[in-house]
Amino acid sequence: MKTLLGGNDAFFQGALRAGANYFAGYPISPTTEILTLAAERAEEQQDFHFLQAEDEIAAAIAVVSASLAGAKAFTATSGPGFSLMQEAISWGYRVEAPTVFFESQRVGPSTGAPTFPAQEDILQAMHGAHGTYYPLAFYPNSPAECYTLAVTAFNAAEEAMQPVIFLCDGYVSHLYEPVDLEALEIPPAVPRSRPPLGTGKRHFTGIAADEEGIPRTGNPQVQEAWVRKVKKRNEEVAKRYPLYEYKERDSDTLLISYGSTSRVVAPLQERFSHFRPIRIFPVLKEELRKACEGYEHIVVLEANDGQYAMLVEHAIGREVEKIPLLGGKISLSRIKEPLKEVLGVELEDVL
């Protein structure tokens, strides 16, 4: 049966489907619905835990700590809160805590335009925190995908033993569509693998430590070995999720867009080829290289000034055209001028 589901709601339902049982967060647009849903859930279900923390710093620490304690833990925030969480995310990478950070982007920098969508935190999701680590991030473009990808995100976090960033934006968060949850293909939830706190004599520390948790700050080999280990694991897990959509058309132009932008430019996909990355990190290098072959024009449309475009250029080794959609309005009418400028075509002619 189809029900009307918003992106935030769908993500939350998907998190439950994945077995999530701990949420800590702090109110922020456009993700507050998830905080509210988690609070309601905790009232109904004793085995679901909820904390409205004093700030995002505390929320993120609580999520990583709850994960170590044995929960499947997650939070939901937007750019400013995500910035405050970065310290704990870095810690999460070091103590190898499977966690999911839902980040629905809005216009920035700073407070920006809180209820208007953007895609300006792509690079923050990649390396917003300090130190060497290997991000995993997914980005859906519909409520149905928020649901299925939530399970994928929790599974990937568990397999890679690291924080996973679930990127979203204000449009997808608040996009309501009829979804038949029963009809969706959902991967089985990966169970917790590491024994919870209170069962051993382990030391979970942010310090460069050996496998026993003993600090070895004076020994570069120990830290190097750890980096190699987590890099390898990240790559292996990423290989299981080469998620993207590629629509090939008889065209000399490939458009690249993701999240809500890919929905807005959907009418152009009849005329031009289109590539939509779903796994944002690690960057889909091989897939992009293959998809980009043979096109005269490669145009990246995104609600930021070329953050993903830069990564595409790095992956495929050539420059791409960029159409930035800034200020919180992602619409076809705004593409009209840049489309003419970049491709020399009228929007009306290609619709």
Partner 1 sequence: MYYKDLIKMQRYPHSWCPGCGIGSVLKNTAKVLAGMNLDHTNTIAVSGIGCSGRMAGYLNMDAVHSLHGRALTSAEAIKTVRPQHNVVVLSGDGDLFSIGGNHFLHTARRDPDITVVCNNNEIYGLTAGQYSPTTPKGTYTTTSPKGCKYEPIDIHGILRTMPRYFYARSTVWHVLHMQKCIQEAIQWKGFAFVDVVSDCIEINGRHIGYKKASEMFAMYKEKYKIVRDVEVLGPHDLGVVKKE
213 in contact with partner 1 (CB under 8 A): yes
d(CA 224, CA 229): 9
Q: Which CB atom, from 199 or from 221, has the smaller least distance to partner 1?
A: 199
x/- letters, 83..112, toward partner 1 (CB under 8 A) = ----xx--x---x-----------------
The answer to whether residues 301 and 256 touch, using CB atoms and an 8 Å cutoff, is yes
Nearest distance, CB of residue 55 and partner 1, angstroms:
7
Stretch that binds partner 1, among 111-119, 207-215, 242-250, 327-335 (CB under 8 A): 207-215
Nearest distance, CB of residue 238 and partner 1, angstroms:
27
Quick one: residue 235, left, alpha or beta (phi over 0 = left, psi -120 to 50 = alpha)? alpha
22 in contact with partner 1 (CB under 8 A): yes
Count residues binding partner 1 (CB under 8 A).
39
Stretch that binds partner 1, among 58-66, 123-131, 133-141, 318-326 (CB under 8 A): 58-66
d(CA 76, CA 39): 13
d(CA 334, CA 342): 13
Nearest distance, CB of residue 295 and partner 1, angstroms:
46
23 in contact with partner 1 (CB under 8 A): no
Q: Which of 111, 205, 219, 331 binds partner 1 (CB under 8 A)?
A: 205
Nearest Cα residue to 7 out of 126, 143, 168, 112:
143
27 in contact with partner 1 (CB under 8 A): no
218 in contact with partner 1 (CB under 8 A): no
63 in contact with partner 1 (CB under 8 A): yes
196 in contact with partner 1 (CB under 8 A): yes
Please enumerate, as own/partner, the contacts of 313-319 that have beta carbons within 8 Å and a separation of 24 or more: 314/283, 315/283, 315/284, 315/285, 315/288, 315/289, 316/288, 316/289, 316/292, 318/292
Question: What single letter denotes the amino acid at residue 68?
Answer: L
d(CA 135, CA 236): 13
Q: Which residues contact 285 (CB under 8 A, 6 or more apart)?
A: 315
Coil, helix or strand at residue 284: coil
Q: Which of 127, 192, 202, 233 binds partner 1 (CB under 8 A)?
A: 202
> Contact positions toward partner 1, by CB under 8 A?
22, 24, 49, 51, 53-55, 57-58, 61-66, 68-71, 73, 87-88, 91, 95, 196-207, 213-215
